[in-house]
Chain A
């Protein structure tokens, strides 16, 4: 038999080494910052929403869907989040789930779609896309990691965002120390005009400086189209409005042809509402928070047109263009 003195010494050291991790795991189990274990009421739901939902939007959003799955789903990025869900439900008479999350790209949207489709029988699907999504080089992936957490709950305890959320939630709940996670690191002291210009250059450059046609996304969207046809799912694309100053960037980068190809491509997969047209809404800076995020008036108009049955037959107005699918 082995020398038990040394075995005991080893076991004791391993125990002490792992003790903080066990305590941490218990705390996560009790607080459950993302509501994934659905065990706790220790932390106020609004506090969780304030931190967890911002630290890992895909994880939060997918979990919300898992809690209340719905057959009508919206996908997209922060622009799609800005569409008022209550408004949509009232106008359409259906119960929608908004699976959009900030900074999403087509790669993440496609992965979220497949996850959602594996959970419920879908009936209506809306993809809020823009040309900047349709770029092979826009391929960051946060969804695979989020989905992995649902498949293996142990990953929840080792997720860095869970640790961060836990820290902020505890601070807020027990010490009332609030943190604004959306506050930028850089303290801008720019005028409104200068800020607009800075943001415009930053976004324009980020979206359009590097562009590669996404053959992979085209194939993936085609698979989604086939799936939707097979399961009688109504698939619609909404090209969300951006300010026309940003649209000029696209022209300067000689990407108008690529944009036309993008619209033409997605028409193969479903009806397309293109709100990215020059009109009184998209040329007025007052209607926008920044060059890509519109204000309430923009999204209310959009929701009214897309989701009210009566307005669907209007093909071309000065607000949007409607392209029926091929």
Chain B
């Protein structure tokens, strides 16, 4: 039941009415039933899997509250291994099967082939990775003593199966979100109204921007042999905004729905394309995931490495920098693999890992250089920093969007080798039209896509660090209603409803 479907609209209206009727513990039961229906209608089998995992984590998590229990470390490792194995099985089964099947079916191992169901029988459960990330953080935090184990299963199950976040996050920490499930939530007009505004804004990003751009991006990226570098430049640029609008649109809707129910979810995006460095980009992009990686992967790896290295310098480089480089490269390598099994995702992750390592290694020498690091307020330098960061991120998106690593290199080659010259050396209307014919959409649709991206950037720029709802609420009533109508008209008349695409991050 995607958030941008009519069935969800019906579901949420009915659910809200039922949710706010009781003012006691029944509310939590209704919320759990709602979450079960939301996920269960999608795939009942996988709903049972997530329910079983919830019970598993709850039951074993309780052991951490027994002070006399001595095999906590063993239980901790057991839970982690079970969660990781289940995740890896569903995530990489297709990949492993495809690579093992030639051996299994053509050799003396053929007996074992009966053990492996065909990949089409194994569908990746929606939101499994987000569930596993939450579960891992819960268990690790228990082990670290950051949070106490949850004793109420109803509260615990609601935290894990909370339908606004179950399919694509944000990845919430138990310490932050879990306590709010212990409260009874009353109807709050402003919360619900703000939630509705966020949902509308998220829907605008999804159906007006992301789904419209998706047609252009898919047309070009799915035919890598047919297009030249100019098309790929445009498609890559569009993809950068497609994935941003798609994922941040989903997150806005998730936060909005949670808000309507009285819960606050973490902000996942904070104007990522205004970043002036790769480091800054990752503090603004998929924040709940990047902070998860920082706390549960990067820092433990870095601490582990620093335990083993006692020297201050290795080959004249500070050990601290080497540790950072290794830990961050490893973290982004895992980040790449998490996104997909293809080598293109590995390269995508490594690109960021290497870039961050290099920026750390040369940080001091860059700061000392007066040409490269003049006054911070210099607008030209700021623009240059933004441009470099944005170009690098777009370059990395080529690997992310390409279907294979070979295609990614072909696209890069085309972008470099295309002679960006005009026929007969002049720009004619006919030439422009001939270019437009290849995007798979009408000229009007192309222009709408560009205008809506501009609008998104405009809003991002002017809302500063405030939430979009706060920006709207600060407007006088007359302008506020103009904004409401504008967003609604855009969604209804400019939304690409006939080419609705799945949310990109649903497959991760």
Closest B residue to A209 using CB positions: B434
| A206 x B430 contact (CB < 8 A) | yes
A216 adjacent to B223 (CB under 8 Å): yes
Partner of B430, one of A136, A152, A154, A201: A201
In the bound complex, residues from chain A placing their C-beta under 8 Å from that of B431 are 205-206, 209
A140 close to B493 (CB less than 8 A):
no
Q: Among B189, B437, B499, which residue has the most Cβ atoms of chain A within 10 A? A: B437
Residue of B192, B225, B433 ringed by the most chain A CB atoms within 10 A: B433
Chain B nearest CB from A263 CB (Å) reads: 21
- Among B215, B434, B492, B497, residue most surrounded by chain A Cβ atoms (within 10 Å): B434
Task: Find the A residue at minimum CB distance from B446.
Answer: A140
**Interface pair A209/B423, CB less than 8 Å apart:** yes
A207 to chain B, nearest CB (A): 7
Given contacts A10-B189, A17-B484, A202-B429, contact A207 B434 (CB under 8 A): yes
Give the complex CA separation of A91 and B226 in angstroms.
42
Task: Name B230's closest neighbour in chain A (CB-CB).
Answer: A210
Restricting to A79-130, which residues have a CB under 8 Å from any CB of B? 105
What 0/1 readout, one digit per residue, does chain A (151-169) give for beta carbons within 8 Å of chain B? 0101100111001000000
Confirm or deny: B441 has a beta carbon within 8 angstroms of a beta carbon on chain A. Answer: yes
What residue of chain B has the Cβ atom nearest to residue A3's Cβ? B187
Chain B residues with Cβ below 8 Å from A138 are 437-438
Contacts of B180 in A (CB 8 A): none
The answer to whether the Cβ of A221 comes within 8 Å of any Cβ in the partner chain is no
- Interface contact B493-A7, CB-CB below 8 Å: no
- Determine whether A137 belongs to the interface, using a CB cutoff of 8 Å to chain B: yes
Which of the four size classes fits the interface of chain A? 35 or more
| CB of A141 closer than 8 Å to a CB of B | yes
A203 to B428, CA, bound (A): 11
| Stretch from A64-72, A142-150, A187-195, A272-280 forming part of the interface with B | A142-150
CA distance A202 to B436 in the complex (A): 13
- State A7–B227 Cα separation when bound (angstroms): 54
Tell yes or no: B440 within 8 A of A by CB: yes
Taking CB as reference atom, which chain A residue is nearest B435?
Answer: A210
Among the listed B189, B439, B441, B498, which residue makes an inter-chain contact with A148, where contact means beta carbons less than 8 Å apart? B498
Contacts of B497 in A (CB 8 A): 148, 152, 155, 158
Q: Which residues of A contact B423 (CB under 8 A)?
A: 205, 209
Complexed CA–CA distance, A145 and B434 (Å):
22
Write 18 A-B pairs (CB below 8 A) sorted by A numbering. Answer: A2-B21, A7-B20, A10-B192, A17-B488, A21-B488, A140-B439, A140-B440, A140-B441, A141-B441, A205-B428, A205-B431, A205-B434, A206-B433, A208-B434, A209-B430, A210-B438, A212-B226, A215-B226
